[in-house]
């Protein structure tokens, strides 16, 4: 009996030890799995970040080349202005609902239609917006778009319409209706500026008596 009791106790201890070992192995496997998953997750996130960073860097370089070409056509000789301009776009994207891609697209549209890469220094010092300067025009379009609940597509259409009026120096109902349809009462603004009723202003526009530069400036 004593031997049987000792054997039983020994067997119990062995069983307990085996069970404890199995539990330890399970916990160890679970921990290894957790560590492996965490490591793989970190590596995936790092890879995605590097890919995203590389894509952004490549896009920034593409944008730099595009703006150099556009600004050079506009008479800009100092290409350092391009880097400053792109930095300003990044800052605007960080502080407004605009995405960087939206801003570059609208900037290229406005640059194509002859808007400037540099603001008039006198206006800048006085705190006045320069409606020939791309970033000031973008801010104005953005303010109006936010107030009227416009989509990015709406704002791009507005940028194109005022750009066409500026470059052609023609105010047509086709261009002005792009603004009117998006809640910007361009004809009413022109009429108010001249002290006329809207009917008279519509008649003047249809007869080509309103310049595109006046119209785009008032609309902006």
Find, among 44, 123, 56, 137, the residue nearest to 92 by Cα.
137
Q: How many CA atoms lie within 13 A of 156 on its CB side?
A: 13
User: Tokens 């809207």 appear where?
Assistant: 198
CB 168 within 8 A of CB 212: yes
Q: One digit per residue, pLDDT tens: the chain, 220 residues?
A: 554 444 444 455 445 545 555 655 666 565 566 556 655 655 554 554 444 456 767 777 888 888 888 888 878 777 788 889 989 998 998 888 788 889 999 999 999 998 998 888 898 899 898 989 999 999 999 888 889 999 999 999 999 999 999 999 999 999 999 999 999 999 999 999 999 999 999 999 999 999 998 888 776 6
Task: Give 145's contacts (C-beta < 8 A, 6+ positions apart).
Answer: 154, 155, 158
**CA-CA distance, 110 to 28, in Å (whole number)?**
62
The reply to whether the predicted model has a pTM over 0.85 is no
**CA-CA distance, 29 to 36, in Å (whole number)?**
10
């Amino acid at each position: 009996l004593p031997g049987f009791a000792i054997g039983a106790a020994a067997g119990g201890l062995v069983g307990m030890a085996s069970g404890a070992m199995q539990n330890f192995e399970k916990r160890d496997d679970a921990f290894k799995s957790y560590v492996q998953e965490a490591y793989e997750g970190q590596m995936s996130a790092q890879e995605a970040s590097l890919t995203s960073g590389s894509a952004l860097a490549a896009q920034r370089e593409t944008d730099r080349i595009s703006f150099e070409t556009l600004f050079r056509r506009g008479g800009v000789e100092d290409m350092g202005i391009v880097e400053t301009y792109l930095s300003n776009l990044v800052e605007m994207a960080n502080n407004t609902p605009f995405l960087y891609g939206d801003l570059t697209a609208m900037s290229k549209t406005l640059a194509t239609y002859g808007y400037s890469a540099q603001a008039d220094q006198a206006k800048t010092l006085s705190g006045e917006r320069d409606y020939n300067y791309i970033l000031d025009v973008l801010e104005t379009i953005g303010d109006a778009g936010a107030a009227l609940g416009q989509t990015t597509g709406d704002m791009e259409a507005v940028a194109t319409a005022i750009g066409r009026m500026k470059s052609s120096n023609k105010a047509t109902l086709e261009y002005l209706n792009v603004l009117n349809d998006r809640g910007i009462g361009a004809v009413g603004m022109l009429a108010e500026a001249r002290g006329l009723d809207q009917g008279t202003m519509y008649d003047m526009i249809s007869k080509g008596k309103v310049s595109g530069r006046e119209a785009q400036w008032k609309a902006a």
